[in-house]
Structure 1
Amino acid sequence: MNWIALFSGGKDSSWALYRALDSGRTVSRLLTVHPAADSYMYHVPATDLAALAADSIGIDLLEVESAVGTDGVVDSGTQGDAELEPLERALSDLDTAVGVDGIIAGAVESEFQTTRIEAMAERLDAETYTPLWERDPVALAEAMLAAGFEIQIVQVAAAGLDESWLGRSLDRAALEELIALNERYGVHVLGEGGEFETLVTDGPHMDRPIELEYAVEWDGTRGKLQVTDAWLGE
């Protein structure tokens, strides 16, 4: 079977890809959607670094620009369907070119995303592989760290996550703090509600690590890394 991995460079899509490769699945393409604005469907920050990650992984990357964003939109369902359209067109083109037998996705708990991806896969007559789906978030984070994933936090937007979290590694100490923040504020341990976003800078599926230079943008309640340079290290 020929599998296509939906890939942002963040921890969830990277873990889904890693699990797929580890299980012997043949992944011929990574597919990244670059949203024009905040998105109901896609990971937004630092997706421009997916190309570096793909180079390190050694799998061809297809990048899709989406003019659709959530600005001014009230109906999230209609918006989610609209955001899916450029992804489905790209997968349909890939199906014609190389064949798409299966789609790999890193969804954890979002019914909003998962139901749309599954419906799209059905229309393409493709299977889905979602190894994170409905797994315990703490166990998932521990598995990522045990496998050797190096994860950097690139955006935060939640109570308890201040400027000091930007650029921080999601290591075991950070995980313990996230568990405490979950108990106090309800922060999702994997950031599934948009509390934080990540970039995987190294892992067992990558030949070389991603190195970054960046500035920190912080408005008092939320912030992100503004990457000024990025390259593959040795």
Structure 2
Amino acid sequence: MAVDTDAEPAPPDAEGAWVSLFSGGKDSSFALYRGLERGLDVERLLTVHPDGDSYMYHVPATRLAALAAESVGIDHVDVHPENLGGDAGHDAGARGDAEVEPLERALRDLDEAIGLAGVTAGAVESEYQTSRIRALCDRLGVALYAPVWRRDPWTVAEEMIDAGFDTRVVQVAAAGLDASWLGRPLDRAALADLRDLNERYGVHPLGEGGEFETLVVDGPHMDRRVDIEWEREWEGTRGRLRITDARLD
């Protein structure tokens, strides 16, 4: 599928309650922000908390999503699935399908409670993830709004910075991303360095290949900043932030 370098899709014409799939990372936060900016009635933020690795979901620092949701001022729903996709074994397709099941149950419950019109998602380029979310929305008969899907990632990164997002790197696992990146803001200086790393190692500007993960600590959609205290944990070629404390400023 071709990448559109600048055009952001308009939200679907679906009136009613929306749910934002929300990890607290930059992509889902930006999708939420764009949806709110365009008048979507987002009534719930929903976070799936994987217990270990996941093919479908953002993993690092999801426990802070509730704090970010409090700052946004929208009711938050936590989903803590047991044995997420574990029965599917090593079949990637079956694993992804299985991981969607607890999300679908949660959305069906919300549909009964508030009547869903649609779902926002921070999908960037992963057909594996997006095809399953799209199929889920089709089964529920609701719309999907994915404002960064297949757009030029450099443009999206610039838009996040221009909007005032304060995004911090909380995990890295790629050549060129050393321990100094942990806790670093994704600002214009970081974006310039990512351009160099993209040319040298192919690092994706939004970390779409798993090169890095993020947490949004402040932005135009948030009333209060999420202050975090942390320590770096480094394991040879990869590392993460261990969040020791977090509060709303």
TM-score, normalising length: structure 1: 0.97
1:11-53 alpha-carbon deviations (Å, 9 max, x no partner): 0000000000000010000000000111110000000000110
Kept in 1, the 8 Å contact 2:24–2:68? The answer is yes
Task: Give the match for residue 67 of structure 1.
Answer: 82
Q: Which amino acid aligns with 1:49?
A: L
Question: Which residue of structure 1 aligns with residue 27 of structure 2?
Answer: 12
**Whole-angstrom distance in 1 between the partners of 2:84 and 2:54:** 6
Match of residue 36 from structure 2: 21
Deviating 4+ runs (over 4 angstroms)? 69-72
The size of the alignment, in residue pairs, is 233
2:171, 2:213 within 8 Å by CA — same for their partners in 1?
A: yes
Q: Contact between 1:145 and 1:172, CA under 8 Å: does it hold in 2?
A: yes
2:139 is equivalent to residue 99 of structure 1: no
RMSD of Structure 2 on Structure 1 (CA): 1.1
Partner of 1:193: 209
* Aligned residue type for 1:47: T
- Tell me which residue corresponds to 1:126: 142
TM-score (norm 2): 0.92
Alignment of 1:163-174 (within 5 A): 163-174=179-190
Distance in 1 (CA, whole Å) between partners of 2:236 and 2:85 is 23
How far residue 177 of structure 1 moved from its aligned partner, in angstroms, is 0.6
Show CA shifts across 1:118-141 (max 9, x none).
Answer: 000011000000000001000000
Partner of residue 137 from structure 1, selected from 149, 153, 162: 153
Whole-Å separation in 2 of the counterparts to 1:122 and 1:63: 23
Quote the residue 2:3 is aligned against: none
Please state if 1:57 is matched with 2:56. no
**1:68 to partner: Cα distance:** 3.4
Identity of aligned residues (%): 64
Distance 1:67 1:157 in 2: 26
Q: Structure 1: which 5+ runs fail to align?
A: none
